[in-house]
């Protein structure tokens, strides 16, 4: 690699009078980028080989020996001594005419309108068509060269040229990656959902918009991961663009998931929670109606690093003029989860505030009770009341797109009973946020078995004692913190996490483990050496001593369950603290 760089030949040239040196094999476009000289392009992407079809990047080149010509910057390789001019009258005329020709072909394409403005084209003098595609070939080339799917290609020649699938039929070669739509400068390619075919990339998708992405902004470690289900490389074996551009060679497609065993003395379970999927609640139309989103999806929209760059947008890319927030979706609901998810009221208030701040939309909040229990929370609620958020007390009954008058046309209509005014209402909205219930993880049951700690009827882990041991479990050395213990907000989670860490530290600090006092002991005089106890012990703590002819208990291994004592036919084993006579005494005392 280094050798290659050292042997690279530099060439020197001028672009618009500015000198620049760069490696042999670079293009004029590379040189212009280096100098910050703007050259417009339509059919260029660094992802695939230059195509030079739109000719918009035309520039004038003057040869060192005299003479020159008009060339395209995207694929003209630089050589020593050339002088490039990107903004001469001639070039402006040529580019202007190209834009005018394209605009005549596709009068409604925004990128062309923008270019027309830049090149001062006020009126298109040429015969107009109603096309959308400018035939730049980006989609075709990306599909073939990068994705390797070859699902679309040019059909027809000359004026009949168009982008098509084989025989204009829906093609199995298409892996629905959406790369074509992504690179299309005119944005006229739409990827449609088809039965049995999942769209990998969707415009304004609320999930990760790329197959390689950081799990979330504050992820630890802060390293991107590849979503193999959606990564083109894992589908077709092609692309590999991330590996190509990573100068640290950090991309390894061969890496496999692996299980790492770590020996530890303490475990803190902070496995979190899951969000209830509201699509099972048919009345809210989630997954069926556009612009009905869950609270987590709305959080994505709000995120500055998210797909919309933090703008609150509907699926068509427009800003909503009214937004509804429905509390208690799935929680406080006899049919789903009886408990209160605890955090929804407050984040719903936060959303209302953000919507007011970022857009001009009206905000409607549909609540059962407003639970603002924390420090400063009630005050925040009052502030929102002053901001003009509409709070409607009453569980929303239904979201529908069935309009009964013109005001409701094209809107989502929330049906609810406003219990404060005692009336049924229909409220037309552009977007509805569902504050979905927090629920325990699907695999909590399995974890509880592995760690021998109990699950509550709500599916969350139970602490050893609600007041005295709030982060401990019935298993020594296993602690719980955060959402896996029950719905809670971030401050509570942090506090619990710190508490669990402190518990662990106190155990580590002691440097020794106290063994159970309540263990089994063998009365060697009574033991007949029948070995029945040996098979009873789940921890193999009772072993037969050949020399003595009796069974003995390993005190470090014994957990003190007493099963051996209960099984001993000669009553030779007794469980400390739970000896027969102690229990008998209890029985006698009780009765």
Partner 1 sequence: MSVETNIRFQSPPELSAFRDRLSSERRDDINRITICAGTGCVAKGSIRVFEKFTEAIESRQLDATVELKISGCHGFCENGPLVVMKPAGILYMEVRERDVDDIVEKTVTTGEIIERLLYKDPVSGERARNEDEIPFYKKQMRVVLRNIGKIDPNNIDDYIAVGGYSSLAKVLSGLQPEEVISMIERSGLRGRGGGGFPTGRKWRSCRNAPGDIHYVVCNGDEGDPGAFMDRSLMEGDPHSILEGMIIGAYAIGAEDGFVYVRMEYPLAIERLLNAIRDAEVYGLLGGNILGSGFDFRIRINRGGGAFVCGESTALMASLEGRAGEPRAKYIHTVEKGLWDKPTNLNNVETWANVPPIIERGPEWFSSLGTDGSKGTKVFSLVGKVKNTGLVEVPMGITLREILFDIGGGVKGTKKFKAVQTGGPSGGCLVVDVEEKGKKGAFNLIDLPVDFDRLTEVGSMMGSGGMIVMDEDDCMVDVAKYFLSFLKEESCGKCVPCREGIRHMLTILDRITNGEGSAEDLQLLEELAETIAEASLCALGTQAPNPILSTLNYFRSEYEAHIFEGKCPAGVCKQLVTYSISADNCTGCTLCAKNCPAGCISGEPKELHTLDSSTCIKCGICYDVCNFDAVIRR
Partner 2 sequence: MSFEPRIVGFLCNWCSYTGADLAGTARIKYAHNIRSIRVMCSGRIEPTYIMKALYEGADGVLIAGCHPGDCHYQEGNYKALRRYMLLKRILSEYGIEPERLRLEWVAASEGERFARIVDDFTEQLRKLGPLAIKESIAEAMKDDIDPHEAHNVESGEADEA
Residue ranges in contact with partner 1 by CB under 8 A = 52-56, 58, 69-72, 75-77, 90, 93-94, 97-98, 101-102, 104-105, 125-127, 134-135, 137, 154, 156-161
Residues contacting 559, CB < 8 A, separation 6+:
516, 519, 539, 541
- Shortest distance (Å) from residue 588 CB to partner 2: 6
Candidates 35, 31, 15; CA nearest to 23 is: 31
- Shortest distance (Å) from residue 36 CB to partner 1: 24
Strand partners, 365: 325, 391
d(CA 449, CA 445) in angstroms, rounded, equals 7
d(CA 273, CA 449) in angstroms, rounded, equals 18
Candidates 151, 96, 91, 86; CA nearest to 118 is: 96
Rank residues 106 and 568 by Cβ distance to partner 1 and give the closer one: 106
- Shortest distance (Å) from residue 539 CB to partner 2: 8
Q: How many CB atoms lie within 10 A of CB 38?
A: 10
Candidates 47, 68, 48, 46; CA nearest to 58 is: 68
d(CA 191, CA 205) in angstroms, rounded, equals 12
Rank residues 331 and 448 by Cβ distance to partner 2 and give the closer one: 448
- Shortest distance (Å) from residue 448 CB to partner 2: 8
Which does residue 302 touch among partner 2, partner 1, none (CB within 5 to 8 A, set by kind)?
none
- Shortest distance (Å) from residue 575 CB to partner 2: 6
Q: Largest Cα–Cα distance of the chain, in whole Å? A: 118
Rank residues 94 and 565 by Cβ distance to partner 1 and give the closer one: 94
Which does residue 563 touch among partner 2, partner 1, none (CB within 5 to 8 A, set by kind)?
partner 2
Residues contacting 50, CB < 8 A, separation 6+:
27, 29, 44, 72, 74, 75
Which does residue 104 touch among partner 1, partner 2, none (CB within 5 to 8 A, set by kind)?
partner 1
Rank residues 448 and 551 by Cβ distance to partner 2 and give the closer one: 448
d(CA 133, CA 53) in angstroms, rounded, equals 13
Rank residues 77 and 222 by Cβ distance to partner 1 and give the closer one: 77
Query: 444: which 2 tokens?
Result: 């909590």
| Residues found near partner 2 in the complex (CB under 8 A) | 448-449, 452, 454-457, 462, 466, 474-475, 518, 536, 538-539, 559-563, 565-567, 571, 575, 578, 580-581, 583-584, 586-588, 590-591
Query: 503: which 2 tokens?
Result: 């518990």
Rank residues 132 and 456 by Cβ distance to partner 2 and give the closer one: 456
Which does residue 110 touch among partner 1, partner 2, none (CB within 5 to 8 A, set by kind)?
none
- Shortest distance (Å) from residue 73 CB to partner 1: 11
Which does residue 212 touch among partner 2, partner 1, none (CB within 5 to 8 A, set by kind)?
none
Query: 339: which 2 tokens?
Result: 């408990």
- Shortest distance (Å) from residue 557 CB to partner 2: 12
Which does residue 126 touch among partner 1, partner 2, none (CB within 5 to 8 A, set by kind)?
partner 1
- Shortest distance (Å) from residue 118 CB to partner 1: 17
- Shortest distance (Å) from residue 407 CB to partner 1: 45
Q: Which of 458-469 are b and which e, b meaning 16 or more Cβ less than 10 Å from the residue's Cβ? A: ebbbbbbeeeee
- Shortest distance (Å) from residue 51 CB to partner 1: 8
Rank residues 318 and 466 by Cβ distance to partner 2 and give the closer one: 466
d(CA 238, CA 218) in angstroms, rounded, equals 31
Rank residues 66 and 589 by Cβ distance to partner 2 and give the closer one: 589
Q: How many CB atoms lie within 10 A of CB 412?
A: 25
Which does residue 552 touch among partner 2, partner 1, none (CB within 5 to 8 A, set by kind)?
none
- φ, ψ at 155 (rounded to 5°): -120, 155
Residues contacting 578, CB < 8 A, separation 6+:
518, 562, 565
Rank residues 24 and 586 by Cβ distance to partner 2 and give the closer one: 586
Which does residue 71 touch among partner 1, partner 2, none (CB within 5 to 8 A, set by kind)?
partner 1
Which does residue 586 touch among partner 1, partner 2, none (CB within 5 to 8 A, set by kind)?
partner 2
Which does residue 587 touch among partner 1, partner 2, none (CB within 5 to 8 A, set by kind)?
partner 2
Which does residue 101 touch among partner 2, partner 1, none (CB within 5 to 8 A, set by kind)?
partner 1
- Shortest distance (Å) from residue 190 CB to partner 1: 23
Which does residue 160 touch among partner 1, partner 2, none (CB within 5 to 8 A, set by kind)?
partner 1
Rank residues 423 and 583 by Cβ distance to partner 2 and give the closer one: 583
Q: How many CB atoms lie within 10 A of CB 365?
A: 23
Query: 298: which 2 tokens?
Result: 């709305």
Rank residues 389 and 438 by Cβ distance to partner 2 and give the closer one: 438
Helix axes 377-387, 344-358, angle to 10 degrees: 40
Alpha helices for 168-294 (secondary structure H): 179-183, 232-236, 241-245
Q: How many CB atoms lie within 10 A of CB 243?
A: 13
Which does residue 562 touch among partner 1, partner 2, none (CB within 5 to 8 A, set by kind)?
partner 2
d(CA 273, CA 261) in angstroms, rounded, equals 24
Rank residues 333 and 579 by Cβ distance to partner 2 and give the closer one: 579
Residues contacting 237, CB < 8 A, separation 6+:
148
- For residue 371, give the 3-state DSSP assignment: coil
d(CA 80, CA 24) in angstroms, rounded, equals 9
Rank residues 90 and 526 by Cβ distance to partner 1 and give the closer one: 90
- Shortest distance (Å) from residue 128 CB to partner 1: 11
- Shortest distance (Å) from residue 269 CB to partner 2: 16
Q: How many CB atoms lie within 10 A of CB 301?
A: 23
């Amino acid at each position: 690699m280094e050798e290659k760089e050292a042997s690279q030949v530099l060439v020197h040239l001028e672009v618009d009078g500015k000198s620049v040196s760069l490696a042999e094999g670079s293009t004029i476009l590379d040189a212009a980028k280096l100098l910050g000289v703007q050259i417009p392009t339509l059919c260029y992407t660094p992802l695939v080989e230059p195509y030079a079809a739109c000719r918009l990047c035309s520039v004038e080149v003057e040869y060192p020996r005299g003479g020159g010509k008009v060339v395209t910057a995207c694929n003209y390789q630089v050589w020593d001594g050339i002088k490039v001019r990107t903004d001469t009258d001639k070039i402006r005329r040529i580019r202007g005419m190209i834009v005018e020709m394209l605009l005549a072909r596709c009068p409604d394409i925004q990128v062309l309108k923008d270019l027309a403005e830049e090149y001062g084209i006020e009126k298109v003098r040429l015969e107009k068509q109603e096309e959308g595609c400018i035939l730049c070939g980006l989609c075709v080339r990306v599909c073939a060269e990068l994705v390797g799917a070859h699902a679309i290609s040019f059909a027809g020649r000359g004026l009949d040229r168009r982008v098509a699938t084989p025989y204009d039929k829906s093609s199995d070669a298409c892996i629905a990656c959406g790369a074509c739509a992504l690179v299309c400068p005119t944005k006229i390619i739409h990827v449609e959902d088809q039965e049995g075919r999942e769209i990998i990339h969707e415009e304004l998708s609320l999930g990760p918009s790329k197959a390689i992405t950081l799990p979330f902004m504050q992820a630890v470690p802060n390293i991107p991961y590849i979503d193999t289900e959606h990564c083109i490389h894992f589908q077709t074996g092609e692309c590999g663009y991330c590996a190509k551009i990573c100068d640290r060679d950090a991309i390894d497609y061969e890496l496999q998931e692996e299980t790492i065993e770590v020996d530890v003395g303490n475990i803190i379970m902070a496995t979190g929670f899951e969000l209830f999927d509201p699509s099972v609640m048919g009345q809210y139309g989630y997954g069926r109606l556009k612009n009905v989103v869950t609270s987590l999806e709305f959080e994505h929209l709000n995120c500055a690093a998210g797909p919309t760059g933090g703008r609150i947008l509907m699926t068509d890319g427009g800003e909503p003029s009214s937004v509804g927030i429905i509390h208690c979706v799935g929680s406080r609901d006899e049919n789903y989860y009886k408990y209160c998810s605890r955090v929804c009221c407050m984040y719903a208030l936060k959303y209302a505030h953000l919507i007011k701040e970022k857009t001009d939309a009206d905000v409607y909040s549909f609540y059962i009770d407003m639970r603002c229990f924390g420090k400063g929370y009630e005050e925040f609620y009052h502030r929102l009341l002053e901001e003009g958020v509409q709070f409607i007390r009453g569980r929303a009954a239904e979201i529908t797109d069935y309009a009964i008058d013109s005001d409701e046309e094209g809107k989502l209509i929330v049906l609810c009973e406003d219990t404060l005014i005692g009336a049924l209402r229909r409220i037309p909205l552009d977007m509805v946020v569902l504050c979905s219930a927090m629920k325990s993880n699907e695999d909590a049951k399995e974890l509880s078995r592995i760690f021998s700690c109990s699950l509550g009827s709500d599916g969350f882990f139970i602490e050893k004692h609600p007041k005295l041991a709030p982060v401990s479990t019935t298993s020594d050395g296993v602690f719980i913190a955060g959402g896996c213990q029950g719905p809670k907000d971030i401050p509570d989670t942090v506090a619990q996490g710190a508490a669990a860490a402190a518990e662990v530290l106190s155990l580590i600090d002691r440097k020794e483990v106290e063994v159970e006092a309540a263990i089994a002991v063998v009365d060697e005089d009574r033991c007949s050496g029948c070995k029945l106890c040996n098979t009873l012990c789940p921890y193999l703590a009772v072993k037969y001593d050949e020399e003595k002819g009796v069974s003995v208990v390993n005190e470090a291994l014994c957990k003190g369950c007493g099963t051996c004592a209960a099984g001993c036919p000669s009553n030779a084993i007794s469980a400390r603290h739970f000896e027969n006579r102690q229990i008998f005494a209890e029985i006698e005392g009780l009765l």
